[in-house]
Chain A
Amino acid sequence: MAPSPAPRPDPQSSTPADDPASARALARTPGAAFRHGMLQAMPFLLVIIPFSLLFGVVATEAGMDLAKVMGFSVLVLAGASQFTAIQLITDNAPAIIVILSGLAVNLRMAMYSASLVPWLRGATATQKAWLAYALIDQSYALSIQHYERHPRLSLSQRLAYFAGTATMLCVPWLIATWMGATVGQAIPEEVALDFAMPITFLAMIAPMLRTLAHMAACFIAVAMALALAWMPSGLGLLIAAPLGMAAGALVEYWVERKRSTT
């Protein structure tokens, strides 16, 4: 999903829509573009809904009441950082460490934000605020693919498509959290839910290990986290994670250099 050198918006381009899919995309009214975005986001619900249900269950098991569980999903709207925060709250880590760790997980979204700028430059401040609120992994991935595939879309078609994906993804996210919290209250204490969170994290991490650099980042972060586990709760994480990030960046740099010299 990393932004790569890609076609830039070019409304003046004289090339005609060269395939039927582009022609259809360009002919859509904003309403149709909105519905198209909703439709294309639907497969992601298979991930979003169970994930959000699980958050509701786990957060409730960790002692959050319904208002706090929903507060997380409505105000933060970012699964991995919500799970991170709950885990550290369970460990009774200082608030500042909970916040910094939760934000660190979300830093990648600055990258998403930067890569959308060329496509959505003309949006109003209010539109940009909504875009930012609903900029999750899946709405970003779908929209940037759509924009790059059809570079001649109008701004309103782009905004409508994004709004369609975001609506289809974020509304079920909130509903599923609420359902999970309700279910969580009914689950007996004996069930080993302590391990739901580690399993969820591992399941998120494994598919991310696509390159040597990702593996290096993961390995260094794990090694340092284990070595620093004696530190007050959460502090080891704040040291281990940047070291892992640096390791990933370094390996990426080496691999690129090697590729360009051979």
Chain B
Amino acid sequence: MSGEMSDLKIWVIIIVLGIGTFLIRWSFLGALGDRELPGWFLRMLRYTPVAVLPALVAPLVLWPAATGGQPEPARLAAAAATVAVGLLTRNVILAIAAGAVTLFGLLYLLA
């Protein structure tokens, strides 16, 4: 699927992402010490995962590459089931299981 990206480019991504992630984790422990963070900065940090991940996933759900970018009922239903179970149970693995069962169940039924 990723035939167009060279090995070198992928290794550069892995290594830079690894170093960058390490520096984020090391930042205060290793260098910045007790420096107080500005309040607005802490506030923004708190919402990084909950903003980045949905922004990444929304287009994938509505316009899946596997169907040539056409919305597709099994994938939409699987997404809805995953979110519903995740909200209700707060359990990541249960939510994944619900999504997978819905997806493969519907793909089988609709085929």
Q: Which residues of A contact B (CB under 8 A)?
A: 2, 46-47, 50-51, 54, 61-64, 68, 71-72, 75-78, 80-81, 84-85, 87-90, 92, 95, 98-99, 101-114, 116-118, 120-121, 123, 125, 128-129, 131-133, 135, 192, 194-209, 213-214, 217-218, 220-222, 224-226, 229, 236-237, 240-249, 252-253
Residue of B nearest to A239 (CB): B55
Q: Which residues of B contact A246 (CB under 8 A)?
A: 44
Question: Within 8 Å CB of B40, what residues of A?
Answer: 249
Query: Residue B109 at the A interface, CB < 8 A?
Result: no
The chain A residue sitting closest to B8, CB to CB, is A95
B26 to chain A: which residues have CB within 8 Å? Answer: 113, 128-129, 132
Interface of B (DSSP majority class): helix
* Cβ–Cβ contact B46 & A205, under 8 A: no
Q: How far in angstroms is the closest Cβ of chain B from A57?
A: 12
A-B contact count (CB 8 A): 299
B56 x A214 contact (CB < 8 A): no
Contacts known (A75-B15, A78-B21, A98-B13); A111 close to B46, Cβ less than 8 A: yes
Residue contact A198 to B57, C-beta cutoff 8 Å? yes
With the chains together, A61 CA to B65 CA distance in Å? 14
Question: In the complex, given contacts A68-B10, A241-B51, A244-B47, what are 15 additional A-B residue pairs having Cβ atoms less than 8 angstroms apart?
Answer: A75-B18, A78-B21, A84-B52, A98-B13, A103-B17, A125-B30, A195-B78, A199-B78, A199-B95, A204-B53, A205-B83, A205-B86, A206-B84, A222-B58, A242-B44
Complex Cα spacing A93 to B79, Å: 24
Chain B: how many interface residues by the 8 Å CB criterion? 77
A196: B residues at CB distance < 8 A: 100
> In the complex, are the beta carbons of B50 and A71 less than 8 A apart?
no
Task: Using CB atoms, name the residue of chain B closest to A78.
Answer: B21
Contacts of A199 in B (CB 8 A): 78-79, 82, 95-96, 99-100, 103
Chain B residues close to A by CB (< 8 Å):
1-5, 7, 9-18, 20-22, 24-30, 32-34, 37, 40, 42-66, 75, 78-79, 82-87, 89-93, 95-96, 99-100, 103-104, 107
| Other-chain residue from A128, A135, A218, A236 in contact with B54 (beta carbon distance below 8 A) | A218
User: Would B25 and A80 count as touching, CB distance under 8 A?
Assistant: no
* A50-B93, A76-B17, A135-B25 known; A206-B30 Cβ under 8 A: no
25 contacting pairs across A/B (C-beta < 8 A): A50-B96, A51-B92, A75-B17, A76-B17, A88-B56, A89-B5, A103-B20, A106-B20, A107-B48, A108-B46, A110-B27, A120-B29, A121-B33, A195-B99, A199-B96, A201-B57, A204-B92, A205-B49, A206-B84, A217-B47, A221-B52, A225-B58, A226-B59, A248-B44, A249-B43
Docked pose: A110 CA to B78 CA in angstroms: 33
One of B3, B52, B83 near A206 (C-beta < 8 A): B83
From A133, A204, A207, A245, B47 is in contact (CB under 8 Å) with: A245
Contact A71-B78, Cβ < 8 Å, known A222-B55, A246-B44: no
Contact partners of A242 in chain B: CB under 8 A: 44, 51
Q: Once the chains are docked, how many angstroms separate the CA of A131 from the CA of B18?
A: 15
Which 3 pairs of residues, A with B, have the shortest CB-CB distance?
A: A206-B86, A244-B51, A75-B18
Cross-chain contact B54 with A222 (CB below 8 angstroms): yes
The contact of B55 among A61, A198, A244, by CB within 8 Å, is: A244
> Is there an interface contact between B44 and A249, defined as CB atoms closer than 8 Å?
yes
B55 with A224: CB separation less than 8 A: yes
